[in-house]
Structure 1
Amino acid sequence: MTYRFKVEALYLLGFSLDLINMFIANVAYPAMATDLGASVQQLAWVGNAYMLGLALVIPLALWLSVRWGERRLLCVSLASFTLGALLASQASTITGLIGWRFLQGLGGGLLIPVGQALAYRHCPPADRARMTARIMAVALLVPALAPTLGGFLVTAGSWRSVLLVSVPPGLAALALAATWIRAESRPSQDFSLDVAGLLLGSLGIGLLLVSLSLLTDAASRPAGVVAAVAATVVLLGYARASARARHPVLQWSLLRHASLRTAMLIYLLVPGTFIGTQLVATLRLHQLGYSAEAIGMLMVPWACASAVAIAITRHVVTRVGPRVLLTFGMLFQSAGIASLPWVGAAQPVFAAFAFVLMGLGGSLCSSTAQILAFQRLSPDEMLAGSSLWNINRQLSFCLVAAVLACVLGVLSVSLAQAAFALTLWLASTLTLLPMLLIWRLPPASLSLNEHPT
């Protein structure tokens, strides 16, 4: 078994654990509410606390890896994640549950950037399309299967089983990290921590996530606006501090690579828009009389189409180039979203076709963007680039969803009859926005044929 295979296998296991914890808990919310006496907003923070932990610790990945080394950092991260899962499963109050989920997020936030940087560093550029296909297969299967597994565990046991399920694979990953990962050499130069940048960035991201949570509810929307303004001010302060820092917590200078900044924008506006669309579509289909089971089953054709898209990307991206695949992907997803307002009460096949288009288009874009993001980074830039990529990834999962939820809420008051259609057509338009950028960039900036030495 080669070292490259071990590194990739460990990263995929850590990635799976992260995805399981992002998607499995939703089905357990009703049981949590009954057992712990939690409100809807408190339940939302069961997921938000995990996301907040992820977002706050990812900027520390580069500094911690220099101070501790990647093997030790992975072991500490996996131990914290697994301990958080165990303690969360035993929580007796909603406050305790939220706190332990935050600890889980702090551990999980380091698994992805460190593991991803290791995997890409040890994978030759010519083989990265195939590795990305395997990563995207995990990103496809886990979100599709985790809610089903969670529903079974809640029915057969309790909501605690949903959180406890992460403990055995977490312990297995910890053992593998300790035995498989080499103690690689660390940079000898001084690498001081940008404390001001860390505090401002953490506070800004925290305020942003709080504002997104508040903005989704009409009653708390004014407070959400205040939090959003405060987040903007703090993040502007962070930008100024980061520009002056010798070693900023996030190396924004890497955005000089057109491939990385383009990939980040695509991930924000294509997979990110799908997450928001899924929320709006679920509400619309429920209004039309579709059962929860019928709505959940629409992810099956989505997953099948996504699998086809990942296979297509793997085999043709180096021949036709990222620009062509990204264009077709955006067009397919946009068409799928735009068709949702026309789905009727007894048209499950039409609804499934819309999800096929979204799965095909979204995965063409996400798998191509994943390849493109790391294509121009040197081995020394991999970890810093991975931190940027994963901060963007986490925010993508909630930012556009919050915007679309706010738009739907406002339109439901002023234009109730057309609220769902207008919101979905806005989502369709957002999906197409990156196309304006990718066709303005010089072809060489998105080429997969040149690599850093």
Structure 2
Amino acid sequence: MDGRTRRLGWYLTLGGLLAVIDTTVTVVALPRLVEDLDTNLTTVGWVTSAYALALVAVMPTAAWVIGRYGPRAAYLGALLLFTAGSVLAGLAWDIGSLIVFRAVQGLGGGLLNPVGMTIALAAVPPHRRGRMMSLLGLPVLVGPLIGPVLGGVLLDHASWRWIFWINLPVGAAALLLGRRLLPPPEARREPAPLDVTGLLLLCPGLTLAVLALSLTGESGGVVSGPVLVPLALGAVLVAAFVRRAGRVRHPLLRLSVLRAPGMAGGAGTVALFAAGYFGAFLTIPAYVQIVRGDSATLAGVIGIPQALTTGLMLQVATRLVDRVSARRLVGLGIATATAGTVARALVLDADTSYALIAVLGAVIGLGMGATLMPTMTAASRSLPPADLPSGTTLLTTVSHTSVAAGTALIAAALSWAAGRSAPALAGEGIAAVARLDPVTRAGLVPELAWSVQFAVAVSAVLLGLAWFTSRRLPGRPVPPPAGGDPAVSNARGAAGPPPRPST
């Protein structure tokens, strides 16, 4: 990559850092939010799920927004909305207002990834996209290192409100730098019409499905009215969207890009792996703070080895995927993450060594670093420039939908298991422990540890299933053009939308 492209890649990592820090910093805060806002773990899970669902709601419009306003204006507007939502979340007065303001954050953050990825991947030739993705993956190293530790310190010594306000200086810096580093605006082109009907089918459908998953922990399992009704309605709406997307000229998501080599396998792998990996983020903070009664800072520190190995392996794997079989690389990554998660589920008990938990987290991180970004790189490599907005929008929509679904499912599994093993907690789940007296709480520790163990096992199942879909990834890397690297236009020309961009 030349100097200009490299600077662009480094800048785009700043927006990614915002999103990653915001996700990881809230994980250690969930038990504290349960106590301070007088609610339960399932409801607090919507602090994460509302953010992820708002991402999903706006992501499908990314290709249309790029065509309508251009990549520069789309990216800066997303940054501004995300930063404003962070400030509002810090001012929230109850759990309801916090969930709403987190959704505002998500509306901005939902455009950062697909717009940023479109700009970045269009700036380099296909056989060098792994190098660009290694830059875009740096937040996966820095964010999990900064987020949990900083969040724990702020929770222990200040207030949970500061975990949102820390986005303000980063967002302001990104807005100022973007005016200089992002491609200058081009002449405005007439975009394809926005598929409003598709938007009204897909977004409520996904929201209802995630809502149903989140209710399984409180309503006695899947076979119950409160779960089956929203789940069935959500499935009908999503099915109607899929049917319609194949019949209209300008669908909200161009599902036809799934026919490109590796795209279907990549989307399936991203869906299952993201659900299992990110959905399990709340398990160890819940174990440390609720089961063992230790500090939020300690919960963050335990996650450092996992963040380190994730980021370091990501830098290696996203470069290797330019030269080796993506199918083998990603398959090995999934197997490693699954093995680490299974081992963690087996060893968790009332007094498991924190050092052992951290070591197994490092193993899981190695697998993560070799899976998610390499999968997206390999899946999008066969797409021509005109299809990049649609392809990256689809992959990021799948990823963030899965994060919301996985978080809801694993939080529900944790609450269900707590109620099952300790009947006194039925209805409220593991979060009710914070209200118990020390003697009663100490007597429930073995049962609560089993609840976390069960939730981790659910994560392991999802990760294992991702291995099967990864078998459809490309088996060989894309060779460079015979005449060497094609002349790549500057980021302005490369990232600009085609005359009639498809959504």
Instruction: Please report the TM-score for the alignment, with normalisation by the length of structure 2.
Output: 0.79
Residue deviations 1:214-242 (CA, integer Å, cap 9, x gap): 23434697423321111101111111222
**Worse overlay, 433-442 or 173-182:** 433-442
Q: Which residue of 1 aligns with 2:310?
A: 306
Residue deviations 1:16-36 (CA, integer Å, cap 9, x gap): 111222222344456656665
**Worse overlay, 422-431 or 135-144:** 422-431
Secondary structure in 2 aligned to 1:244?
A: coil
Distance in 2 between the 1:422 and 1:392 partners?
25
Distance in 1 between the 2:218 and 2:269 partners?
27
Kindly indicate whether the alpha-carbon contact (under 8 Å) linking 2:275 and 2:405 is maintained by their aligned counterparts in 1.
yes
Kindly indicate whether the alpha-carbon contact (under 8 Å) linking 1:321 and 1:448 is maintained by their aligned counterparts in 2.
no
Residue ranges of structure 2 left out of the alignment (5+ in a row): 423-446, 487-503
Kindly state the Cα deviation for residue 64 of structure 1 after the two structures are TM-superposed.
1.6
How many residue pairs get aligned? The number is 451
Residue deviations 1:76-105 (CA, integer Å, cap 9, x gap): 222222222223323334433332222221
Q: Which residue of 1 aligns with 2:245?
A: 242
Given candidates 334, 352, 355, the residue that maps to 1:330 is: 334
Matched, 1:96 2:97: yes
Secondary structure in 2 aligned to 1:92?
A: coil
Matches within 5 A, 1:103-142: 103-142=104-143
Label 1:439 to 1:167 Cα distance change in 2 as closer, same or farther (>3 A).
Answer: closer
- In terms of fraction of residues, the more helix-rich structure is 1
Label 1:253 to 1:142 Cα distance change in 2 as closer, same or farther (>3 A).
Answer: same
Q: Which residue of 2 aligns with 1:449?
A: 479
Matches within 5 A, 1:214-233: 214-218=215-219, 222=224, 223-233=226-236
Distance in 2 between the 1:449 and 1:124 partners?
11
Kindly state the Cα deviation for residue 154 of structure 1 after the two structures are TM-superposed.
3.4
Secondary structure in 2 aligned to 1:52?
A: helix
Distance in 1 between the 2:373 and 2:167 partners?
26
Secondary structure in 2 aligned to 1:182?
A: coil
Identity of aligned residues (%): 27
Kindly state the Cα deviation for residue 63 of structure 1 after the two structures are TM-superposed.
1.2
Kindly indicate whether the alpha-carbon contact (under 8 Å) linking 1:70 and 1:183 is maintained by their aligned counterparts in 2.
no
Label 1:236 to 1:312 Cα distance change in 2 as closer, same or farther (>3 A).
Answer: same
Label 1:347 to 1:96 Cα distance change in 2 as closer, same or farther (>3 A).
Answer: closer
Matched, 1:435 2:467: yes
**Worse overlay, 211-220 or 55-64:** 211-220
Q: Which residue of 2 aligns with 1:383?
A: 389
Given candidates 333, 340, 356, the residue that maps to 2:362 is: 356
Secondary structure in 2 aligned to 1:270?
A: helix
**Worse overlay, 280-289 or 191-200:** 280-289
Instruction: Please report the TM-score for the alignment, with normalisation by the length of structure 1.
Output: 0.87
Residue deviations 1:153-195 (CA, integer Å, cap 9, x gap): 3344333322221122212222222333234546846511112
Q: Which residue of 1 aligns with 2:257?
A: 254
Kindly indicate whether the alpha-carbon contact (under 8 Å) linking 2:70 and 2:185 is maintained by their aligned counterparts in 1.
yes
Larger relative contact order (Cα-Cα within 8 Å, sequence gap ≥ 6): 2
Supply the RMSD in Å over aligned alpha carbons. 3.3
Kindly state the Cα deviation for residue 116 of structure 1 after the two structures are TM-superposed.
1.2
**Worse overlay, 53-62 or 302-311:** 302-311
Kindly state the Cα deviation for residue 367 of structure 1 after the two structures are TM-superposed.
3.2
Q: Which residue of 2 aligns with 1:317?
A: 321
Distance in 1 between the 2:140 and 2:240 partners?
34
Residue deviations 1:371-419 (CA, integer Å, cap 9, x gap): 2132112222222112111111112223234444555666667789887
Label 1:144 to 1:216 Cα distance change in 2 as closer, same or farther (>3 A).
Answer: farther
Kindly indicate whether the alpha-carbon contact (under 8 Å) linking 1:10 and 1:115 is maintained by their aligned counterparts in 2.
no
Matches within 5 A, 1:201-220: 201-218=202-219
Label 1:431 to 1:96 Cα distance change in 2 as closer, same or farther (>3 A).
Answer: closer
Matched, 1:61 2:62: yes
Q: Which residue of 2 aligns with 1:160?
A: 161
Q: Which residue of 1 aligns with 2:13?
A: 12
Kindly indicate whether the alpha-carbon contact (under 8 Å) linking 1:305 and 1:360 is maintained by their aligned counterparts in 2.
yes
Label 1:185 to 1:19 Cα distance change in 2 as closer, same or farther (>3 A).
Answer: same
Amino acid at match of 1:108: G
Secondary structure in 2 aligned to 1:258?
A: coil
Distance in 2 between the 1:102 and 1:207 partners?
15
Distance in 2 between the 1:234 and 1:351 partners?
41
Matched, 1:264 2:228: no
Kindly indicate whether the alpha-carbon contact (under 8 Å) linking 2:306 and 2:361 is maintained by their aligned counterparts in 1.
yes
Kindly state the Cα deviation for residue 110 of structure 1 after the two structures are TM-superposed.
1.1
Label 1:152 to 1:271 Cα distance change in 2 as closer, same or farther (>3 A).
Answer: same
Label 1:186 to 1:49 Cα distance change in 2 as closer, same or farther (>3 A).
Answer: farther
Distance in 1 between the 2:474 and 2:20 partners?
35
Q: Which residue of 2 aligns with 1:85?
A: 86
**Worse overlay, 88-97 or 377-386:** 88-97
Distance in 2 between the 1:339 and 1:280 partners?
14
Q: Which residue of 2 aligns with 1:392?
A: 398
Distance in 1 between the 2:470 and 2:200 partners?
34
Residue ranges of structure 1 left out of the alignment (5+ in a row): none
Residue deviations 1:32-66 (CA, integer Å, cap 9, x gap): 56665555555333333322221111111111221
Secondary structure in 2 aligned to 1:239?
A: helix
Label 1:161 to 1:394 Cα distance change in 2 as closer, same or farther (>3 A).
Answer: same
Matched, 1:342 2:346: yes
Label 1:218 to 1:144 Cα distance change in 2 as closer, same or farther (>3 A).
Answer: farther
